[in-house]
Structure 1
């Protein structure tokens, strides 16, 4: 079943060679690393000659050395902060060194501090001359734009995509952040690698589409035409399933897929919640991955909180050392994580978390070990090309057209996904993937295995439905819990055991079993099962029609304690005396056959 309408002819890989395309007009051209400018510089009466800063002596009509050379290598203007930074190059003993300073530090006092770095300005007169020379030189240098944020942004009213360079504007800018998103290797080699090793195999194609989905989320949120959660996908499985290779392919669409590279887009999951959140700040459309979930020891509460933060595109509000509110930072992208174990099994049993994080268990992500090895080797040498090319195509379409594509694919998915009350929300998340597939096909004219990708999404949702429905899950868990701890319940009219800690009462009538549980015990059980919001849980149990309750309440009064058990009642409920009308309880109803052994 076709999920989308392709807006232009699509060629199969086998029949047609890949089209030649240009990456911002620089196909296959290596971006040269910036070198320290060591040529002589003259700003009368000063000049740099070789390794020395010289000054013109009018009386002698020649230059005299002041100190070792110091000069401005380049000036940069940060597009986000508007800060002006200077890169200072200076001769330190036996080689050139560079250091970046803010323009506000271009003064005699702060320059003096650079003596510790090897700058030859020990004497105050040397500092004065260096300051005077740099002030003159600065006025002759045009600032170069840089950016530290990544992904979509509005710059002077233009919607642009900030990658290593900036896409969508005539203004030039170069990335100066910590991530390694500079395209490396050959664009043609990268395309050939995808065709040989990934195209035609649905799991690897899904990984590519997940990488592209980050651009869709970032663009629509930045343009203000939609409010989309960050998409979080987790790949659980054994080490031989190729999940790490899939994560490398996913991140290679935008940057370095290296796990060992400090600036790589595959980062370690071994960090605090705040540290992981901080690594996402300013990312509005570049895929990021957290590798090896088992390395993280966050509690269930912290992990659940982190999951909410990721999906809601914003960190928690915190205070600075001066007790002032800090901007928590925001993001809007796709996050992938890998690990041998499930994340969902560690989360609180809140339904909201299960529509924010999607797991794809039991999938063989690579064809075989040889396929994984070839992919890893090729991706480490060629990466970072797809995201800026896709961004350029998306700018041609515009945010409204991309949103229409997303909504069209959502409506088609609604018709074929398993039906439940969350189908529309799930379909929107999955439509990000099918829309990414559509953009890939239209941009590169390469057909993907879209039908197989959609079947993977259907299978994922089918498996997630049971896990996501909190009330049925709790209902079954509670039944086993009551059987295990049956000695703590009064059974029908049987006398309670001596020294028995009473949690409630179990009765049978009219072919059903009624389990009356004291609220304090019910809340304790719910917390043990990681169900943190009992109010929502009770409402869901009502919907299942398994909760007996008084009118306009979620509880039912029942006589649990006898007159001889006043002390026990006080210890458990905190209430004094004997309650003739009973205590409020949570009454869960089961079929009688489930508890025959308890009431017989």
Structure 2
């Protein structure tokens, strides 16, 4: 099947002329990247002449040097905070240096601190002259807008996309954050790379669509027309599967895909929970990769908490040094992680995590080794073009139209996905990917492998469904666990073993096996299997009709301990004496095949 909502005819490959490049008016990133301009600057009675700051002597009718040159090269205004920063260049011994100071630091006291940086203002009189000169010069310079947030934002009531420059407004601004999102290389070369190495191979097309999905999530949340979780996708598998290349392709839609680049969008998973979540703050529509999951040593509880935190678009509340509540920061995007192992296998077995994290195991992402090599080489030299162009198309549609596209695609997927009580939630998340594919086709006039792409999503859901269902998984695991530790259960009327630690009783009746497990043991087993909320687990087992219980309860009274086992009962339950009516237990019902296994 083709992707449903594309109205215009689209063609394969490189037959269409390439659209005009959207990013021709790129400005340099904040900070000095080339040689300092040494043009003379005059602010009477001062002037910069070569490497010196001079002052006019009215008596001698000539300029005299005060100190080595100091001047403002640029004034930056932050769009987010409205703060004004000054880029100050000065001659330090044998070369020009540049530092950035807040406008509030343009005073004699704070300027004096710059002596340690090499500024030639040791004498108080020099400080006074430098302050006077900079104050005069500042008034003649026009501030340049900068932004450090990335993705969607509302500026002057306009919905805009903040990339290296800003899409959707006449306001000129340049990105001055830590990430390398400046488009590099050639747009034409990047598009031809996609046509030659990506288009026609559905797994790589999926990687592109996942990158674009971050823009959809960010836009709809920022515009307030929907509340969408951050989408987390994990690519487990051996290195030969091409998952690293897929991650590079995914991030290349918006910025540097380099793993070694400190400012690249591929970041190490080797960090604390706070450090990783802090790296997402302010990101409302730029794809990020956490690479090599195996490097992270979080406990299952900490990892589960981190996954919830990321998906819910907000960090944890913390206190600052003054014990005041600190803004935890927010984000709204798509996160990809890679690694040889599954994340699902390491986190707590909560159903909520299973609808927030999507794993794509056993996928050969690249066509072959040569395909992977060509992609890596091309992507490291050409990146950062797709996101701003897609954003421009999304602004043309408007957030309401994008939401309608998303809902339409959700309805289409619900007809194809296996039906269960979570189908609607899963379909909405997967529709982010098919809507991204639709936007790509419409923007670049290139047909994707629609049927194959959708089939990957359906296969992923079918494979995940059993894993996602908490109670069935636990039910199967528990049956094997009981067989393994059958010596700890009293079985039917068979005598107990000497020195046996009793966990419960197992009986058979009418072809069924009834496993009565003491609650303290049941909770211990559940924790061992990483099921943290036993109340939800018992409720789900009850709905499966495999939990035998007393009226209005999830437990069943059963005589487990004999009169000779009072001490053992106290050790396990904390209750003394003999209970004639028995103790409350968790009673799980199996077919008689389990009992036969135990007897044998």
Q: Normalising TM by the smaller chain, what interval? A: over 0.9
The residue that corresponds to 2:359 in the other structure is 359
1:173 matched to 2:173? The reply is yes
> For 1:471-517, what per-residue CA distance to the aligned partner results, in whole angstroms no more than 9, with x for missing partners?
11111111111111111111112332221111111111111111000
1:9 matched to 2:9? The reply is yes
> For 1:73-102, what per-residue CA distance to the aligned partner results, in whole angstroms no more than 9, with x for missing partners?
100011111111001000001110000001
1:102 matched to 2:102? The reply is yes
> For 1:160-216, what per-residue CA distance to the aligned partner results, in whole angstroms no more than 9, with x for missing partners?
000000111001000000000000001111111111111111111100000000000
Which runs of no fewer than 5 residues in structure 2 stay unpaired?
none
1:129 matched to 2:129? The reply is yes
Q: Whole-Å Cα distance in 2 between the matches of residues 244 and 470 of structure 1?
A: 30
Residue 31 of structure 1: how far off its partner (Å): 5.7
The residue that corresponds to 1:452 in the other structure is 452
The residue that corresponds to 1:347 in the other structure is 347
The residue that corresponds to 1:407 in the other structure is 407
The residue that corresponds to 1:464 in the other structure is 464
The residue that corresponds to 2:277 in the other structure is 277
> For 1:7-41, what per-residue CA distance to the aligned partner results, in whole angstroms no more than 9, with x for missing partners?
22212225x23333221455xx8969565332111
Deviates more, 1:182-191 or 1:4-13: 4-13
1:372 matched to 2:386? The reply is no
The residue that corresponds to 1:311 in the other structure is 311
Q: CA 1:153 to 1:35, structure 2 compared with 1: closer, same or farther past 3 Å?
A: farther
Q: TM-score, normalised by structure 2?
A: 0.98
Alignment of 1:547-562 (within 5 A): 547-562=547-562
Q: Whole-Å Cα distance in 1 between the matches of residues 205 and 457 of structure 2?
A: 13
Which runs of no fewer than 5 residues in structure 1 stay unpaired?
none
Q: CA 1:382 to 1:30, structure 2 compared with 1: closer, same or farther past 3 Å?
A: farther
Q: Whole-Å Cα distance in 2 between the matches of residues 34 and 147 of structure 1?
A: 21
Residue 252 of structure 1: how far off its partner (Å): 0.3
In the alignment, is the contact (CA less than 8 A) between 1:88 and 1:98 conserved in 2? Answer: yes
Residue 593 of structure 1: how far off its partner (Å): 2.1
In the alignment, is the contact (CA less than 8 A) between 2:18 and 2:188 conserved in 1? Answer: no
> For 1:411-433, what per-residue CA distance to the aligned partner results, in whole angstroms no more than 9, with x for missing partners?
00000111111111111011000
Q: Whole-Å Cα distance in 2 between the matches of residues 283 and 592 of structure 1?
A: 55
Q: TM-score, normalised by structure 1?
A: 0.98
1:22 matched to 2:15? The reply is no
Q: Whole-Å Cα distance in 1 between the matches of residues 337 and 20 of structure 2?
A: 32
Alignment of 1:6-155 (within 5 A): 6-13=6-13, 16-26=15-25, 36-155=36-155
Alignment of 1:173-572 (within 5 A): 173-572=173-572
Q: Whole-Å Cα distance in 2 between the matches of residues 248 and 266 of structure 1?
A: 7
SS where residue 393 of structure 1 aligns? helix
Q: Whole-Å Cα distance in 1 between the matches of residues 83 and 27 of structure 2?
A: 29
Aligned pairs, how many? 597
Q: Whole-Å Cα distance in 1 between the matches of residues 531 and 333 of structure 2?
A: 28
The residue that corresponds to 2:593 in the other structure is 593
Q: CA 1:35 to 1:400, structure 2 compared with 1: closer, same or farther past 3 Å?
A: farther
In the alignment, is the contact (CA less than 8 A) between 1:164 and 1:182 conserved in 2? Answer: yes
Q: Whole-Å Cα distance in 1 between the matches of residues 598 and 198 of structure 2?
A: 57
Q: Whole-Å Cα distance in 2 between the matches of residues 282 and 152 of structure 1?
A: 9
Deviates more, 1:487-496 or 1:266-275: 487-496
SS where residue 415 of structure 2 aligns? helix
Residue 450 of structure 1: how far off its partner (Å): 1.3
Q: Whole-Å Cα distance in 2 between the matches of residues 516 and 181 of structure 1?
A: 59
Q: Whole-Å Cα distance in 2 between the matches of residues 327 and 161 of structure 1?
A: 23
Q: Whole-Å Cα distance in 2 between the matches of residues 76 and 36 of structure 1?
A: 17
Aligned-residue CA RMSD in angstroms? 1.3
SS where residue 13 of structure 2 aligns? coil
In the alignment, is the contact (CA less than 8 A) between 1:30 and 1:184 conserved in 2? Answer: no
Q: Whole-Å Cα distance in 2 between the matches of residues 546 and 35 of structure 1?
A: 75
Give the 4+ runs in structure 1 shifted more than 6 A: none
Deviates more, 1:588-597 or 1:143-152: 588-597
Q: Whole-Å Cα distance in 2 between the matches of residues 347 and 141 of structure 1?
A: 55
Residue 54 of structure 1: how far off its partner (Å): 0.5
Q: CA 1:265 to 1:308, structure 2 compared with 1: closer, same or farther past 3 Å?
A: same
Q: Whole-Å Cα distance in 1 between the matches of residues 517 and 247 of structure 2?
A: 47
Q: Whole-Å Cα distance in 2 between the matches of residues 598 and 388 of structure 1?
A: 63
Q: Whole-Å Cα distance in 2 between the matches of residues 564 and 598 of structure 1?
A: 25
> For 1:429-484, what per-residue CA distance to the aligned partner results, in whole angstroms no more than 9, with x for missing partners?
11000000010011010111111100000110010011111111111111111111
